[in-house]
Amino acid sequence: MKAGQPPVVAVDGPSGSGKGTVSRQLAVSLGWHYLDSGALYRLVALSALRNRVDLADADRLAALAANLNVRFAPAGELERIYLDDTEVAAELRTEQAGEAASRVAAVPVVRAALLQRQRDFARWPGLVADGRDMASVVFPAATLKVFLTASAEERAMRRHKQLKEKGIDVSLPDLSWDIAQRDARDANRAVAPLRPTPEAHVIDSTSLPPKEVVARILEWLAAVGVEIERA
Ligand code: DC
């Protein structure tokens, strides 16, 4: 057992910035654990929709968040997320779950209920934590803080492509509008708004493939003295 806290890379940014892909690839390349914090908010939302809990009922939402029975497959494997032993990864990625998650994520008691659960993901040899408030709230002492962005048009296009591949047909203008609405809600909410912390490395992925973003993060990690044992 090593002494001290395991290293944490916080990767924050808006939907479609490529955070998920980059964070997964980074975790695999380092052989570290991976936290998809957005999935936790989506799980609370899904659980609320399934149990017909009103999305304005903060206390019941917080109770759902505190009692989530969830299990994730490791980052290098096919994405599988179990809620009460049912596999829900595809259902979590729907626009309906995303929209509900954005509402649920604006409820302070829900965020508080998920805080310790997220911190518990920090285990040796290290953690890549992906979300909106990883650097500002959940892991303020993170070893490295990265804020990933991309233009709103590029993010809408990426999302459109993803949905099309899944056979879901949504118009690009509708999607752009949804993304802009969600960005505004995430950036302007009273608790843990989406914003880069002053010490974050900001990187624009509009015309940068995930592999290059990962390479840059690995360089920054080496520069802060993290010993990288490549998996
Ligand atoms: O990254 P995502 O699209 O799966 O996130 C779903 C929603 O949860 C999105 O509206 C932002 C919110 N979220 C958050 O508020 N804090 C996080 N750490 C992660 C996601």
143: domain CATH number?
3.40.50.300
Q: Which residues, in sequence order, are bridge partners of residue 63? A: none
- Any ligand 1 atom below 6 A from CB of 182: yes
Question: What pLDDT sits at residue 165?
Answer: 85
- Any ligand 1 atom below 6 A from CB of 114: no
Determine, yes or no, domain membership for 229.
Answer: no
Question: What pLDDT sits at residue 168?
Answer: 81
Question: What pLDDT sits at residue 230?
Answer: 58
- Any ligand 1 atom below 6 A from CB of 118: no
From the CA of 194, how far away is ligand 1's center (Å)? 9
Determine, yes or no, domain membership for 178.
Answer: yes
**Are the CB atoms for 138 and 131 separated by under 8 Å?**
yes
pTM of the model: 0.91
What residues make up the domain containing 110? Answer: 8-220
Omega within 30 of 0 (cis) for the link into 125: yes
Question: What pLDDT sits at residue 79?
Answer: 84
Question: What pLDDT sits at residue 75?
Answer: 77
How far apart CA 106 and CA 138 sit, in angstroms, is 15
**Are the CB atoms for 124 and 7 separated by under 8 Å?**
no
- Any ligand 1 atom below 6 A from CB of 179: no
Determine, yes or no, domain membership for 226.
Answer: no
- Any ligand 1 atom below 6 A from CB of 148: no
Q: How many domains does one find in the chain?
A: 1
Determine, yes or no, domain membership for 211.
Answer: yes
**Are the CB atoms for 19 and 148 separated by under 8 Å?**
yes
Q: Phi/psi at 175 (nearest 5 deg)?
A: -65, -40
Question: What pLDDT sits at residue 184?
Answer: 85
Intervals of the chain under pLDDT 50:
1
From the CA of 229, how far away is ligand 1's center (Å)? 30
How many Cα neighbours within 13 Å face the side chain of 128? 26
Determine, yes or no, domain membership for 32.
Answer: yes
Give the chain's largest Cα–Cα span: 52
Determine, yes or no, domain membership for 228.
Answer: no
Q: What is the helix, strand, coil percentage profile of the chain, to 5?
A: 50, 15, 40
Determine, yes or no, domain membership for 71.
Answer: yes
Question: What pLDDT sits at residue 2?
Answer: 65
